[in-house]
Every structure is written in structure tokens, then in C-alpha cells.
Structure 1
Amino acid sequence: MSAPPNKDSVTTRSDSDVVHWLTNGTRDERFLDNIFAELCVRLQRAGIPVKRATLHILIYHPQWLGARIMWADGMREAELARVDYDVRGRSEYIGSPANEIFDGAAEVRENLERDPALGRKHALYDGMRAQGLTDYVARPLYHTLGKRHIVTFATDRPGGFDDAHIAALSKLLPALALVSEIRVKNRLARTLLETYVGSHAGDLILAGATRRGSGTTVRAAIMICDLRDFTRISDNWPRDDVIDLLNDYFDAISEPIARHGGEILKFMGDGLLAIFPLSQPSACTNLLRAVAEARRAMVALNQRNSDTGRAPMNYGVGLHVGDVMYGNIGSRTRLDFTVIGPAVNMASRLEALTKQLGRTVLLSRAFADFVEGDFELERVGEYPVRGFSDPIELFAYHG
């Protein structure tokens, strides 16, 4: 009669299966939160009594320092929460396990069954005790070049994790580090492209559209916006004030563009270039709606600036529609994913005419013909436009 299997040997075989799945069975899963949730379920099946687990990832998004992925027993999907840059000054972080790990600790282990007066003091531990958890362990998760992230596990098993459980969890960390780094860097690449070239252009670049001269012809509504008197402002204002002003201005103009389906292709000093492809229903109407929202946001911003003694910001917007070449232009080693063509030049000329004609928003007859709804457009007349042989019929929009 054979002896019953040793508990530790069963755990070892089972956690080896988990590591094998982590390294070989996750290739087709793009999202790290899905992988983490499945990992926790597989750990439970392997006899490791995980009741709660978190993964803390630094992502350095323009708005977010990182993200926290949290899984608890019974959850079908992990909960994903963004973490902003100010978190390190708040009580939820100060003295927390994350604080200790990012400060250099190799492990944070807390026996949640003992008298709280004898343990670490933090609201996180009090919350876990209230949930009936008995043991908690946090470890750094090392990515390339020593970059630290954090993974934590907690259990409600009486007596907490035993040595075999901790050994199994330790064993899977290198594989989890590799799998998570791939997803984090994929997300970082996408974030960087979305941040600097826009989401649509970013998707094309990730799909391989990186050859110089590659591109396509797109029919689009085009918007060019430029801030007035920026040279005077930048010469006379403190540097930090100028940066804050530009950021507030771009927020006011840009956020409505994104909400209404447009894409900002570039910021040009104090100006921006955006397009709304005509493949979208009502692209020109959506662009004009974005302009209307942006104008209201600028009125509110100028009021706030007036309250603090700053002069109002004036700007001009040129709107046109036509075919543009959308693709890679530049040197052999430095490319710009942008649009060029006569239609872009026309939008730029219209923006310049806003100063001459004393209007904030000018649009061409070609653009106006696409606008639907009850927008009140004022016919300004026909004007010569530099670089174009025939005068252009112009309209003003006052929002």
C-alpha cells in the first residue's frame, strides 16, 4: 500500500502548473488585469489559499502615476483603479506596504491575527482584519533595470500562509514579472503614442506604418487654432505662468475635440492641428460643436484668469474640408505622422485671416456646406487667400 502524497509535494506540482500556465498559456491575453484574476483563481485551485491579491504598477501616464489591480475571492474580474501623482502625499500611501516596498523593503509581511497594537499601524491592515483576513505578504516585482512594482497576497486561513504557500508564491514572481512587463511596456508604448501623436495615428504606427513616405489620402474636416499675442505673453510672464496658461488653453480647446470624435495630430507651439475624418457621420457638424464647446470653455478660463489679474487670451480658428495626405513625413531617422496638402494650407490661411477680419472662427464655403443643424453662420464675403488663385467665400461662427 503506497503512502499518501505529501501535502508539500502536491503544492509544488500544482504551483509548477501555475507557473507553466503563466509563461505559456497567456500569450493571447492582452490585458494584465485578466491575467492577474485568472492567476489568483489558479493559485486557489493549486491549494494556495489566496483570498485577496493586488498588483501595483507604475505606468507614468500624463495624468496617472500608476494603476492598482485588485482581486478578491468570488470576483469574476479584477478591479482596475488608476492612481494619480498626488497619492504619495496622502494618508492612504504614507506608511502603507507600497510605501515600504518603494522605499526599498524586500518584503512586507503582517500577521493579521495578532493584537493590532503589536503590528504595523495603517488603515489598510485594519480593513483587512475587518474582512477576516489573517495574513498578508507584499513583495517587489522587478522589471528590467531594477524598476519596482508590487504584488500582494492575503489569506483568511487560520494561522495564515504556511512555508509551502510562501515558497510557491515566491516561485511564480519571476514569471509574473516577465508577463507583466510585456503588458506594461505594450501599454506604455500605446500610451506614449496616444499622448504624442493621437490614438488613431498611434494604432497605425503600432500596426507597422512606420516607413517614411507611407500614408493614405483621407477626406477630412480640418481645424487649425492659434493663440494670439503669445510672443508678448511669453516675453513678459514668468515661465511657469506661461506653461500653466498654455496647458489651460490647450485643455479648453482639446477636450471638446476628443469628445466629439476628432483627433489632434500635433501641437505647434501655441497652436494645434486637428482633423475629423469624413468617414464619421456629421464630421463637420461635430467639429463645429467642438468649437462651440471650446469657446465656452475659453470664456470660463478667461474669467478665471481675470479674477487673478491675468489678461484674457484671444485666439483664432480656421476650418476647412478636403483631401489630405495622412502619413509619415520627415528625415530617415525622425518622422512626423501628420497631414499635408492644399486643404491643410487653406485651413492655416483661414486661421491667419481671423486676425485681419477681426473674427474668432472662420470657415470656408466648402466646410459650411457640410454643417447640419441650427448653427448661425455669418457670411463674411469673398476674400483672396495667399497661395490660391480664386477668392474664397468665408463664413464666421460666433458660437
Structure 2
Amino acid sequence: MEQIRSQARLQVSTDGAWPVRRTQILDWLVQESSQERFIDVIFQELCDRLVDTGLPLARATLHFRIENPQWFGARIVWRRGTGQPELTTFEHGTLDTVGYAGSPIATVHDGQDEVRWDLAAGDAEAAGSPLFGQLREEGLTDYVAWPLRHTLGRRHVVTFASDAAGGFSHEDLGLLFDLLPILSLVSEIRLKNRLARTLLETYVGPHASEAILAGAITRGSGSTVAAAILVCDLREFTHISDLWPRDDVIELLNSYFDAICEPIERHGGEILKFIGDGLLAIFPLDRPSACDDLLLAVAEARQAMDRLNAERLAHDRDELRYGVGIHVGDVMYGNIGSRRRLDFTVIGPAVNAASRLENLTKLVKRPVLVSKAFADMARCQARLESLGSFPLRGFGEEMQVFAFRDDWFVAKASA
């Protein structure tokens, strides 16, 4: 490859200047791509521009290892004439699959600086990867893969493939190779931006992360939000955690949170806080359907917990019990904490009321309790039964409390 690279430079540098097409693409990548946030958009335009210069590029890919709780990596595939690139994510454990082992991507990850294959003449089986056979069937003739080097030696991969009769020329390869340092820098910036957003979404939720990224980072910054509030807590967790092995406790918590949280997020709720075995979530009332969305989430969460408990009983384990308190009102939504450690959350009497209702489920032996204020706003009284009025710690007046009839959960979740 070094010989190819040197020949390319000799061919294009005899007058002491870069070729016009190379300068235009490099200038665009360095100076004009700065306004675009997403690397897939930049990559698409880069490939389109390369084709416009006459480069016989038919397919190109980017392979990134990403920091995400769900995904180990992502692949962006551009094909000439197809418009928007294809984005595929890969789960953790991908490195152990047959498709990855022996692939050119694995070879570059392992330290090789180039993988080149003549698809038109080469034997795909001899290459050691079924990918080359697939590309040959697509009509591609030439393939090259290089590392994109990010900070601290972290390697990602870019590949280019041609469908021209002679594949890539020495000049074509020189052009592509000279793009790598800038493409590495541009992609690392976008990945770091995406990482920051992913980490915030993972630990504080999508809405709070947007507010933080928009500049709400000073202590006390925030706003008053009208919201339906949900507080959920697992019963007898202290007893379980004292008796069970650590790994079993973690697995139990993760299964429980999956059952409760996925319906909440699916229906537009924002989970603001995990507190041991409990959680706090809100459904902002700027959406007319917020209360109904919360009810759907609760119904689906109950069904998910029923399925989880059926699995547990099948393995001779006890059922999990939980309590949910639901209220509605204005909350202060913003940054609270010490000078150097902040928490983006909600506080206020409405949050306290939801928490007291959750705690009351232990006394009345009903899994879900709602306040009269929420029942009136959600207009769901037909599915409720009043349990009477109860004193709640911190509140001067007793609060009328309602519980759902069991048949409501089935009807609501299947609606």
C-alpha cells in the first residue's frame, strides 16, 4: 500500500499543488461540514461528492464502536444512487459471532492498517470472509478497509468499494487515503457529541437531557411544569437483598424495571429517578393525552409484571409485589443539589402526594392508588372505587383515595 500511496502522490504532485477535486472535498470536509450534527449525513454527502468528481465509488461503510447500554456498535452503509444511508446497530456480544470473526472489520480492529481485496479476480473463500463473496455478487470489483483512529488509540473502520472494471486506480486510493485524518477527526467529534447525548438520555431521560444540552446547567435553573406524577416501589426488597446473592438481586431489579419502565417510556412518560427499588416518573400535561397515556402505561406494566411473576413461579421463586401512587399537579422541574453535584428532577407538594399514595398501598393492600385530582382530570371514575379519605403525612387535610377495579387493567391494556 505504501507503494500505491507514493505513486498516487507522484502522479498528482508534479506541479507542487493538490488536484482541484481533492482540495474541494477536503475544504468542504474541514470547513463546511461543521454545521451538520450527524455523521451519517456528512458521510452521505462526502460519498456523493466523491462520485461527482468521477471516483468509481459504489459502496462505502463506517463501523463505529459506540457507548450505549443497548448497542455495542453501529454501521452506516452508503450505496450509490440509493439516497439516505442505511444505519444498523449491533448488540453487545457481536464480537463473539461467526459473522464478525475473520471479517475485514475484525482484522482492522485487531491492528491491521489495511485490508484490500480484488473482488473481480479474488477467491472469496480464500479471503476468509463471506463478505467478499456477497460484495462480488452485488457486482463490486474492488474493496479497501482502513482504520479511523480516534483518541487514545481507539479504532473504528471505514471501507470503500468500487464497481468499475479496473476497480480503484492509484490516484483514487490516494484521494481516499488522504481523507482519513480529517474523516477521523470529524467522526470523533460527532461520536463524542452523540455519546454525551446518549449518556444524558441514559441517566436523566430524554427531556431532561435536551434541557441540559440547551444550557440548563446552573443550580436552581428550571421551570414550573404541570404533570401527572407516578411513583412506584417494589415491596420487601430489603428482605430480598439481604437473603439473595448480589447477581440475583441485580437481575431481579433489572427485570422488574424493564416491566415497569418500558410501558412508561413507550407512552411518553419521563423517568426522572431510580431510588433503590423505586422510581419517579412524570407525564407532562402539555399533551392532552398525558393522563390517558399514564393509565395505559400502568395497565401494560401490570400485564408485564404478571408475565414476569408467572416466569418466577415456574422457577419456584416468589412473586414480586409493588405499589404505585398517582397524582397530578404543578412541580418544579430543574436543577437541584450542591454547587458541584446537581440532580435534574422534580420537587413539590404534588410529588410528595404521589409518594404518600404509593406508601399507602401497603396499608390498604391495593397495588395502584390514585388521588381524586387525577381521577377528575383523567375522567376515569367509572373504573374506580373509592377507598375513602386518608391522612397523608405532610398534608393538613385528608385526601380522597381511589383504587382501580381489577377488570379495568385488562380492558385498558387491550384497548
Q: When the two structures are superposed, what TM-score results if normalisation uses the length of structure 1?
A: 0.95
Q: How many angstroms apart in 2 are the aligned matches of 1:47 and 1:119?
A: 31
Query: Does 1:260 pair with 2:267?
Result: yes
Residue 26 of structure 1 aligns to a residue whose secondary structure is helix
Give the match for residue 158 of structure 1: 165
Give the match for residue 193 of structure 1: 200
Give the match for residue 247 of structure 2: 240
**220-229 or 179-188: bigger deviation:** 179-188
Which of 5, 18, 25 is the matching residue for 1:18? 25
Query: Does 1:346 pair with 2:344?
Result: no
| Alpha carbons 1:325, 1:341 under 8 Å: kept | yes
Gaps of 5+ in 1: 1-5
**How far has the Cα of 1:117 moved from its partner?**
6.4
| Alpha carbons 1:111, 1:119 under 8 Å: kept | no
- Which amino acid in the other structure matches residue 50 of structure 1? L
Give the match for residue 238 of structure 2: 231
Residue 264 of structure 1 aligns to a residue whose secondary structure is strand
Query: Does 1:183 pair with 2:223?
Result: no
State the Cα deviation string for residues 176-220 of structure 1 (Å, max 9, x = none). Answer: 111111111111111111100000000000000000011111111
Matches within 5 A, 1:250-289: 250-289=257-296
Q: How many angstroms apart in 1 are the aligned matches of 2:380 and 2:343?
A: 36
Give the match for residue 390 of structure 1: 397
Residue 320 of structure 2 aligns to a residue whose secondary structure is coil
Give the match for residue 52 of structure 1: 59
| Alpha carbons 2:108, 2:114 under 8 Å: kept | yes
| Alpha carbons 1:265, 1:274 under 8 Å: kept | yes
| Alpha carbons 2:225, 2:331 under 8 Å: kept | yes
State the Cα deviation string for residues 230-286 of structure 1 (Å, max 9, x = none). Answer: 011111112111111111110110111111111000111100000011111132221
| Alpha carbons 1:53, 1:154 under 8 Å: kept | yes
Matches within 5 A, 1:1-399: 8=12, 12-116=19-123, 119-372=126-379, 376-397=383-404, 398=406, 399=409
- The change in CA–CA distance for 1:374 and 1:119 in structure 2 (over 3 A counts) is farther
Residue 33 of structure 2 aligns to a residue whose secondary structure is coil
Q: How many angstroms apart in 2 are the aligned matches of 1:372 and 1:125?
A: 61
- The change in CA–CA distance for 1:115 and 1:194 in structure 2 (over 3 A counts) is closer
- Which amino acid in the other structure matches residue 151 of structure 2? T
| Alpha carbons 1:15, 1:43 under 8 Å: kept | no
Q: How many angstroms apart in 1 are the aligned matches of 2:382 and 2:314?
A: 31
| Alpha carbons 2:390, 2:399 under 8 Å: kept | yes
Q: How many angstroms apart in 2 are the aligned matches of 1:135 and 1:115?
A: 10
| Alpha carbons 2:124, 2:132 under 8 Å: kept | no
Q: How many angstroms apart in 2 are the aligned matches of 1:24 and 1:16?
A: 12
State the Cα deviation string for residues 98-146 of structure 1 (Å, max 9, x = none). Answer: 1111111111111112241684121100001111211111011011222
State the Cα deviation string for residues 325-357 of structure 1 (Å, max 9, x = none). Answer: 100001111100000111111111110000011
- Which amino acid in the other structure matches residue 359 of structure 1? R
**How far has the Cα of 1:7 moved from its partner?**
7.6
Q: Percent identity?
A: 58
Residue 64 of structure 2 aligns to a residue whose secondary structure is strand
- Which amino acid in the other structure matches residue 86 of structure 2? E
- The change in CA–CA distance for 1:11 and 1:79 in structure 2 (over 3 A counts) is farther
